[in-house]
Structure 1
Amino acid sequence: MASALSASLTVVTVTDSITLADRVEDLLPQTQCTKCGYAACRPYAEAVAVGTANYNQCPPGGIEGVARLAALLGKPVIPLNPANGVERPRPLAVIDESLCIGCTLCMQACPVDAILGAPKQMHTVIEALCTGCDLCVAPCPVDCIAMVPVTGAATGWDAWTEAQARAAREHHDQREARLARERNAAEARVAARRAASSTASEAAAAVSAASAAPADTPAPAATVAAADDADARKRAIIQAALERARQKKAELAAKGAGPQNTERVSADVQAQIDAAQARRRRLGIEETAESAPTSPAADAPATPRVPKP
């Protein structure tokens, strides 16, 4: 009897841990397209669970998705809300590589890391990972991305599978975890730079105070050493950065892989690219040729198209 009671309690615990939001999320296609009006599928699921969002706001799920949610919630099947979009065949993002300028804005917008590329290099879409969310189209400053239907007449859940939904959710979660790590690392770098700057400022102030003292008053040895160390560190950092830039420029030139299509970049487009790069530099996460391509999706099993030279 004790073992039976223990088993019963275990079942209750497991069941209670699965919330209504979890059940709703499991019925969503996980395209992370934001057409429902929420930042991702999970926030929409939570809103449906508490009643602040209706269950007919997911175009990728289509009318079958509405029916699935209605059955879970014990409500009638209602039409898809046209304000959120229409049910359609699933599209695939395709990049015209002859127009791509390598600005990385599409990579930053992709919710599942399905775009592979590096700054000022050609980008390509990893077909197996693309959810057809459309989010990469709007940020592209040269309109080189097209959404091409790839499922014929099949729409909604007929154009998508449970396995694809699970994979898309995993890639989205992995991307969110990566972005959180990058933000934490950037904040740590900013804090370290501020601390170093504060130390250098204190050393400079001490040197200034020492220089203002009477000529026959020797500056404290520790103060001079601190100032020298701060200056040396600063010079070493600048020199190392310049050397890396020179080496990378030489490597790219040797490969013939310099900036592409730059002669057709308008002033407005260049301003957008410069602004995006400036934001990354301020955050301390500017991608360099040593650390970038790359979307983490590069580890995916699918083989991307080779960029044109």
Structure 2
Amino acid sequence: MPVSLENPTLIDQINALLPQTQCGQCSFQGCRPYAEAIASGAADINQCPPGGDEGIRDLADLLGVPPKPLNAKFGIHKPASVAFIIEEDCIGCTKCIAACPVDAILGASKFMHTVIVSECTGCELCVAPCPVDCIVMQPAPPSNTARSRAQKSAQAKRRYDARCLRKEMEEAEKAERAKKKKLALLKMQAAKK
């Protein structure tokens, strides 16, 4: 859903303050659903470990409520990190590629993969699916940490939105192919009668 820059909704404003890691640590399926839950009162402002205390303060300021400590039930705030693939151990299974919410991993089936460090949000979603444990988290390089939170968040949101659009188009194309295949099958069955 496009956001009007002149009049962003409360959900858009909350979402803009979130780190856009799409990690799910808050117990929601990404930053936007968490923003919607905060706006509706279904979630508290202190459920985002990647946002840390600074993120909680920003949300508290926006909503006019007092800040509170990060709820440890959802994890702890960690220094910025990025995924690193131990290339000689990578079997090219593509499970990490499918798990990455911002398309920061490159590779092809049966070939070694690599992480685009400048695009990685440090969400850690690629670590668990790896069947050979070749993905480790490392401290983010200075070039990643030098950008402001807002810049990193905006870049991650653009990449996440682009990935969602790509996935949506892939699903539509898949449905269209299935429809054509079904139609061809029906024509073949009708011709046999």
TM-score in same-fold range (> 0.5): yes
Identity rate, percent:
48
Instruction: Give the corresponding residue for 1:188.
Output: 176
Query: Any conservation in 2 of the 1:90–1:159 contact (CA below 8 Å)?
Result: no
Residue 200 of structure 1: which of 176, 188, 192 is its match?
188
RMSD value, Cα: 1.9
* Shift, 1:150, TM fit: 2.6
Instruction: Give the corresponding residue for 1:178.
Output: 166
Equivalence map 1:219-230=2 (5 Å): none
Letter in 2 for 1:27: L
TM-score with structure 2 setting the length:
0.92
Instruction: Give the 3-state SS of the residue equivalent to 1:180 in structure 2.
Output: helix
Instruction: Give the corresponding residue for 2:97.
Output: 107
Query: Any conservation in 2 of the 1:151–1:159 contact (CA below 8 Å)?
Result: no
* Shift, 1:80, TM fit: 0.1
Residue 122 of structure 2: which of 129, 132, 138 is its match?
132
2:22 paired with 1:18: no
Deviations 1:258-306 (A, max 9, x none): xxxxxxxxxxxxxxxxxxxxxxxxxxxxxxxxxxxxxxxxxxxxxxxxx
Letter in 1 for 2:150: E
Cα 1:151/1:56, change in 2 over 3 Å: farther
Letter in 1 for 2:95: L
Determine which structure has more spread, i.e. the larger CA radius of gyration: 1
Instruction: Give the 3-state SS of the residue equivalent to 2:88 in structure 1.
Output: coil
Query: Any conservation in 2 of the 1:116–1:125 contact (CA below 8 Å)?
Result: yes
Residue 30 of structure 1: which of 3, 16, 20 is its match?
20
TM-score with structure 1 setting the length:
0.58
Give distance in 2, aligned partners of 1:120 and 1:103: 6
Letter in 1 for 2:113: H
Query: Where has structure 1 moved over 3 Å in runs of 4 or more?
Result: 157-160
Cα 1:64/1:151, change in 2 over 3 Å: farther
Give distance in 1, aligned partners of 2:116 and 2:13: 29
Give distance in 2, aligned partners of 1:23 and 1:116: 32
Cα 1:71/1:190, change in 2 over 3 Å: same
Give distance in 2, aligned partners of 1:123 and 1:72: 40
Give distance in 2, aligned partners of 1:134 and 1:107: 12
Give distance in 2, aligned partners of 1:79 and 1:161: 19
Query: Any conservation in 2 of the 1:57–1:81 contact (CA below 8 Å)?
Result: yes
Residue 61 of structure 1: which of 51, 68, 71 is its match?
51
* Shift, 1:14, TM fit: 7.4
Instruction: Give the corresponding residue for 2:61.
Output: 71
Give distance in 2, aligned partners of 1:36 and 1:42: 11
Residue 118 of structure 1: which of 91, 103, 108 is its match?
108
Letter in 2 for 1:131: T
**Which consecutive unaligned segments of at least 5 residues does structure 2 have?**
none
2:148 paired with 1:144: no
Instruction: Give the 3-state SS of the residue equivalent to 2:180 in structure 1.
Output: helix
Letter in 1 for 2:40: V
Instruction: Give the 3-state SS of the residue equivalent to 2:89 in structure 1.
Output: coil
Instruction: Give the corresponding residue for 1:47.
Output: 37
Instruction: Give the 3-state SS of the residue equivalent to 2:67 in structure 1.
Output: coil
Residue 87 of structure 1: which of 77, 88, 97 is its match?
77
* Shift, 1:149, TM fit: 1.9
Instruction: Give the 3-state SS of the residue equivalent to 1:111 in structure 2.
Output: coil
Give distance in 2, aligned partners of 1:179 and 1:149: 30
Give distance in 1, aligned partners of 2:121 and 2:115: 11
* Shift, 1:98, TM fit: 0.9
- How many pairs are equivalent? 188
Instruction: Give the 3-state SS of the residue equivalent to 2:165 in structure 1.
Output: helix
